[in-house]
Structure 1
């Protein structure tokens, strides 16, 4: 759990992902298209990835990836992020975290 908390605060936007997950790809692509350069942690490429997935599940991520943190705070998974994007609040969150300038 401490490792996830530490990693989640290293950049304005942090995404825990799996390289083979289509929803993870969609979320990463959304941030790139918004002009945000998130830190991406591919849990399936990390030797301690199962520990990270377990910690994410304890935070309420179901499924465990994608898990998005903005400004060090857990935002949610793909459905939540897409909802915020569609209702316009995602850009506001990104601006407040210093990840987006416009």
Structure 2
């Protein structure tokens, strides 16, 4: 998958679903973010980068797009809200549900 294909894949995913997490299946922070959305009753799309042959390329593009390569990269309505701690902080401040509405 070339650079343009990676970009197209990422952009289509984040526009296609309300909540998208670019994740790794063994990452405890990714699990934390998923559990938070599950506890709120929100479905999400998880893209498990460690299970994809082009996962590193996708992670590189996410780094360029969002300024960070760490996972999870959480997108709500096409906008990156950050990682697990950012998502939890928005929830703790009572602002996450407003973003999901």
- Scaled to the shorter chain, the TM-score interval is 0.7 to 0.9
The number of residue pairs the alignment matches comes to 95
Please report the TM-score for the alignment, with normalisation by the length of structure 1.
Answer: 0.87
Within-5 A mapping of 1:16-31: 16-31=22-37
Map Cα deviations across residues 39-95 of structure 1 (whole Å, 9 max, x no partner): 110000011101110011112353421000001111111121111000000000011
Gaps of 5+ in 2: 1-6
**Equivalent position of 2:53 in the other structure:** 47
- Partners of 1:78 and 1:63 in 2: CA distance: 13
8 Å CA contact 1:12–1:72 kept in 2: the answer is: yes
Query: 58, 65, 69: which is aligned to 2:75?
Result: 69
